[in-house]
Amino acid sequence: MTRRVALASLLALSSACVGTTGSSPTSSVAIEVAPLQLAGISDATYTLTVLNGDREEIWSRQVTSSSFGDGAGGVVYVGTCDADPAVAENIVQVVLDLLTGTGGDLTSGVDFINPAPSGAPLEKTVICVEGQSTGVTFDVAFARAAQQGFFDVAVQFEDLFCSAKFDCQDEAGQPLTLLHDASGTRSDTAVLAFACTGGADADTHLYLSDLSLDCGGGDIVTLDPALGPGNLSGVVGSGIPNAHLFQVLVSQGVEQLGTYNKRYWNVALGLESVAGCTLTARGTASDGAWDSQTTPSGAVWPYLQWSAPMDTCTRHALNGADGVVSTVYTDFAGLSFAHSYPEILVPIQGAATLADPAHWKDGTLPAACDGYRNPPAGYLYGGEGDGIYTIDPLQNANPVDVYCDMTTDGGGWTRIFAYVNGNGEFNTLNRLSALNAGLAAAATDTGYAAPTTIAPWYGAAAFTTMRFECFKPVVGRQVDLATSTAAVITYLTGGSSTMPVAPGTVTALPADASIMSGATSGVANGGPSSGATFSGPAAWGYDGTNFYTGHWSHVGIAADDRFSYAPFFIGYTAHFHHAGVRTECDDYDATGATGHEGYWYIWVR
């Protein structure tokens, strides 16, 4: 259970406060040790010490909760500190000398693991300021001997019960032979076992570091227990088999033990050649997930540590005399663990607005919106929806806020082009020659990134699909078409001068109802085929001589005009176009007579 030791400084001094303890409110520190609230604890004995910045002792005294507190672990004591500016950085030390239960004194190392023994006190620094009050808090989660019968040897910290061991031999003292070597024979095996429970309703999380097998001379094998469950031989990134281990088996799971849910995480090592090697690891547990898989900052938290010389490996219980598996405590800075079970997924934070863009909580940024919608292992898209997200397009620490469509066709679309007109007047569309500036403009419906600035982003494999969407109320048909054809995207982003073939390269999304997709038909209003009926990609394009050639774009379009100037169209019938005085969406309006109201977007995914 989490315990608190609190220090409050009540100072109004004109010079250094050095000497004996006292209760004067003008020269005192009030040290409070909050009640332990440990079941069966009737008293606690502490030594409290204050040192000045030169580590000169100001005072030290042993106090008990029965004399200076509530008789159940809590104490309040008033003493002095040193406010001399030269040494005002005082050090407060707390030593736990004794815990007393209803049946007598408890034995450190047997009944509990002492987080603050003599010679290794809990220590914090506090600035002793003249005339001011300063507080410092010690939070300690004690590791106590657990009484639950379902573990061989267990410790209790906070409200969790944990057990661990490291075995190379069976109960008869013979080598464990569990894993099959390359010949199919069961061969020598070592087992690191780790299990905890917080009770029937607890959300128990286990945390493990990498396992490190150090064989000297820089020969170190690092094992990732999160690559399981299962055999790791041949698993990418596992490094198994190798000269020291022929196999590694990771097992994870939950077992019901009466009303307790026990979560376990075991690693079996197939031993090939481990003479002179030492296996190290560390693990801990919590009720509920920790941010960044790190013990609480400002708290002393117990964890389990394995340090097993393989030459002398037998059967090693938790907190045994050999010290192979032991309980240790973090310092107040906290301790991070590389892995967790169940896996803790990094969430998105932020409201997905311009004022509060959405982003991964750990500060990492994907290259495009799809990196949020379809995140990598360890990350969680929580249904935040459409809006403003922060990305790092080229993964070069150059972030930008973009607009993401997280709903259409599975979401993950990054907007790169936006023209929105609500007043019916023709408005100039800003083309930006820098990628981030163009993406930012598209996010706010004020412009777009020039095609040639998109090309390096495409080259970095940030997207594979381009999507074109528009709607013009006077026309009443929505265009929503996508292409994943590399030749098309390469051409549209200025990487080729060859107009790609259109049929077979276009996908109509569900909202599309356009002539250009073939969802409906249109009649040419002028040109060489005036009055003829056309629809679909086979009727797209112009090659300099003929219309309706079945190609993307229009001959002679400069690279940076290929988003705005008819990236696809059916001559004199239906266009996607914003250039000159024309804003066309599945219509042909050579003079802009039908108006400009509507929206035109280009997206990538």
Over residues 173-227, the pLDDT tens digits come to: 999 999 999 999 999 999 999 988 876 677 889 999 999 999 999 999 999 999 9
- List of E strands, 422-506: 430-432, 447-449, 466-471, 479-483
pLDDT digits (tens, 9 = 90+) for 554-601: 999 999 999 999 999 999 999 999 888 889 999 999 888 888 899 999
pLDDT at 167: 96
What's the pLDDT at 157?
56
Give the integer Cα–Cα distance in Å for 78 and 73. 17
Torsion from C-alpha of 490, 491, 495, 496, nearest 10 degrees: 130
Distance (Å, whole) CA 119 – CA 126: 20
Express each pLDDT in 53-112 by its tens digit.
999 998 899 988 888 776 666 667 777 788 889 998 989 898 999 888 888 888 887 777
Distance CA 16, CA 407 (A): 66
CB atoms within 10 A of CB 535: 18
Q: In CATH, which of 3.30.160, 2.60.40, 3.40.50, 1.10.357 is domain 2-144?
A: 2.60.40
Report the relative pairing of strands 430-432 and 447-449 from DSSP bridges: parallel
What single DSSP character describes residue 464?
Answer: S
**Backbone phi, then psi, for 408, in 5-degree steps?**
-65, 125
pLDDT for position 311: 95
Taking the CA of residue 320 as centre, how many other CA atoms within 13 Å lie in the half-sphere pointing to its CB? 18
Give me the phi and psi of 442, to 5 degrees please: -65, -30
Residue 349: both structure tokens together: 């934070």
* Pairwise CA distance, residues 284 & 303, whole Å: 5
Residue 6, both tokens: 């609190």
Q: Is the pLDDT of residue 35 over 70?
A: no
**DSSP label at 514?**
-
Least confident of 43-47, 276-280, 561-565: 43-47
**Interval 290-349: pLDDT, tens:** 888 999 888 888 899 999 999 999 999 999 999 999 999 898 889 999 999 998 888 999
User: Which pLDDT score is estimated for 595?
Assistant: 80
Q: Are 519 and 566 in contact (CB under 8 A)?
A: no
Structure pTM?
0.62
Q: Which two tokens stand for residue 507?
A: 């996908």
Interstrand relation of 177-180 and 160-167 (parallel, antiparallel or unpaired): unpaired
Number of Cβ within a 10 Å radius of residue 571: 24
Strands in 133-141's sheet, in edge-to-edge order, are 75-79, 27-33, 2-11, 133-141, 299-300
Name residue 308's beta-bridge partners.
279
| Nearest residue to 330 via CA among 481, 138, 115, 151 | 115
Cβ burial of 383 (10 Å; 0-12, 13-18, 19+) is exposed
Q: Where are the alpha helices (DSSP H) in 64-121?
A: 65-68
